[in-house]
Amino acid sequence: MAYPESQVVMGGLVHIPIIIGVFWALNNLTTGGSKAKKAAEAQAKQAAEQAAAAQAAEQAAAKAAEELAAKKAAEAAAAKKAAETAAPATTAVAPVSGEAEASQASNNDTQTTPAPDQEVL
């Protein structure tokens, strides 16, 4: 039985997507593992880059804190030196012997009360 030419051409065209689908499925089955491996490697590389960036940021913050502490220490030393040079040294005047004993006695007269949780000896 003979088929018309248009029916034969239409039959050939219908089979093209089927053949493409078969080859696509075979390609996915044979290379599916390597695609997953490449994706996992890319993800691991990205995680390593993020960790390196976080570590670099942490080191930069530590360096900035160290520089700030050094700057504050230098300022404190300069302020101390300026205070020493600005204020002349004062000499204490020795009180008369009676005044010294009176001031010492007044300081020693008061007794401190122990805290409630401490024992009195």
Which residue is it, tokens 């300026």? 82
For residues 65 and 104, which has the higher predicted lDDT (pLDDT)?
65
CA–CA distance, 55 with 49 (Å, rounded to integer): 10
Give residue-wise pLDDT tens across range 68-87. Answer: 999 999 999 988 888 888 76
Give residue-wise pLDDT tens across range 14-62. Answer: 999 999 999 999 988 888 767 778 888 999 999 999 999 999 999 999 9
For residues 89 and 32, which has the higher predicted lDDT (pLDDT)?
32
Phi, psi (deg, nearest 5) at residue 11: -65, -40
Three-state secondary structure of 63-97? HHHHHHHHHHHHHHHHHHHHHHHHCCCCCCCCCCH
Q: In one letter, which amino acid is 41?
A: E
- What pLDDT does 32 receive? 75
* Per-domain residue ranges of the chain: 35-81
Please give the angle made by the CA atoms of 92, 97 and 99, to the nearest 5 degrees. Answer: 75
